[in-house]
Structures are given as C-alpha cells and as structure tokens.
Amino acid sequence: MKSEEALAQVAEEVQVCTKCDLQFSRKNGVPGEGPATAEIMFIGEGPGFHENEQGRPFVGAAGRFLEELLEQVGLRREEVFIGNVVKCRPPGNRDPRPEELAACDFYLERQIQAINPKVIVTLGRYSMAKFIPNAKISDVHGRAMRVKGRLILPMYHPAAALHQPSLRSVVESDFALLPEVMASAESVPEYEIETPEDKSEPKQLSMF
Ligand code: URA
Ligand code: SF4
C-alpha cells in the first residue's frame, strides 16, 4: 500500500474505532495530519476541546505556540506531520490511561511505518514514554537519541510551556536544535537502555 493510502486508511478507521473507552468522548477522531513524505513527525498527547470539535491536531493555544516554534526554525505546519498518542479526546482532558495508549498505538505505529520520518519529535511525557519508558523528561528533553533505529528528539509539550512560563525558553532552545539534528541524523548513536543487570550510567545519551 502507498504511504498516502496507509495514512488515509488509519484516518478512516480512527473515526469509527471502538478499541478503547475514549470512543465515548469522541466527537471527531483526530488521526493527525501532514504529508506522507514528511521528514519530521511531531507526536503530542491527545486531542483537547478544539481538536475534538474540528478533527484536527493542535488547533488551540498549544497549536498556535507550536506554529510559532516551527516558524522559528523555518518550518510551516503543512510540511511536517503532527499527530498524537491517542486519537480521541480524553474526557475533561484527563491524562490518557495505559490501556488507551496501548490500544491506540496500533494506529500510531502504522503512521510511523507509512511516513518513515527522519526524526520523531515527542511532545510531552506520554509520547516520550512510547520510546524511552523510564526516562524523565527533565533529563532527556532536547537530546537526540536513536531508539530501535529511530531518531527521537524528546521535548516538553508546548502546553506545559504555556502553563509554566519558565519552560518557554527551554522549549524554544530545544526547537532550535532541530536543524542540527536533521543535518546529522545519520550519526546519532543508539540509546543505551539500562537493563536490570547493568546498573551503570547510560554511556552516552546523545551527541548534543
Ligand atoms: N495537545 C496535544 O497533545 N495534542 C493536540 O492535538 C492538541 C493539544
Ligand atoms: Fe480507538 Fe485510539 Fe480512539 Fe481509543 S483513542 S477509540 S484506540 S482511535
């Protein structure tokens, strides 16, 4: 199947999905949007009020901030893929639950396979946890790392910076790393995940 078709198929399935209880708070599923050829994929948490109304990702206040951040590095939202770990709005914007994240990963994985992006920018801790489950966002934000062959750049969620003004400059400087990370994508080393037998410090998280 062509990548566009695979993405369209996911988008269609999400609208009628019954795999988890978030189906009950869905007005519109929010599969995500962007070209199948996107080199950068942003993965947020889940739809909020406005996203649920419109069926589009990041269209509220966090979305406006995300667009500003993209502009800062010379990108427009139309050039990148923007999605979420859960495709339906959690009631009252509560955090997504483990079983919901697990169910919805079926769609996110297919999107990643279809797009095969050069870099995945995780926005917030749920998206980060898909790739580096035990990491703390305060430790790893802004550090490019390769996980199972995929280049990941974890960042704080833009909404976090809106609620906590001290994070704003942190988010801005993490975004400023994107061009450099893209340019040296091939040379970022594999992240050494700590195993129970190996209690030593991870050798090198990233080259940045
Ligand atoms: N926050 C998210 O994580 N995703 C959206 O789509 C909108 C806001
Ligand atoms: Fe299906 Fe994902 Fe929506 Fe749950 S959140 S109903 S798994 S599309």
- Residue 85 to residues 43, 105, 130, Cα–Cα distance (Å): 7, 7, 9
User: Which band of pLDDT confidence, cut at 50, 70 and 90, is reported for residue 193?
Assistant: low
Atom index in ligand 2 nearest the CA of residue 23 equals 6
Structural contact between residues 62 and 79, judged by C-beta atoms closer than 8 angstroms: no
H/E stretch holding 123 reads strand 119-123
pLDDT at 208: 46
Atom index in ligand 2 nearest the CA of residue 26 equals 3
The model's pLDDT over 84-113, given as tens digits with 9 standing for 90+, comes to: 999 999 999 999 999 999 999 999 999 999
The model's pLDDT over 150-174, given as tens digits with 9 standing for 90+, comes to: 999 999 999 999 999 999 999 999 9
Domains of the chain and CATH, by start? 3-182 (3.40.470.10)
Bridge partners, residue 42, by sequence: 82, 121
Any ligand 1 atom below 6 A from CB of 46: yes
Measured from the alpha carbon of residue 125, the closest ligand is: 1
Any ligand 2 atom below 6 A from CB of 29: yes
Give the mean model confidence (pLDDT) for residues 185-204: 61
Tell if the pTM clears 0.75, that is, is over it.
yes
Share above pLDDT 90 across residues of the chain, in percent, rounded to a whole number: 88
What are the strands, taking DSSP E only, across 66-201?
81-84, 119-123, 145-147, 150-155
Contacts of 193 (CB under 8 A, 6+ apart): 132, 147, 202
Structural contact between residues 46 and 125, judged by C-beta atoms closer than 8 angstroms: no
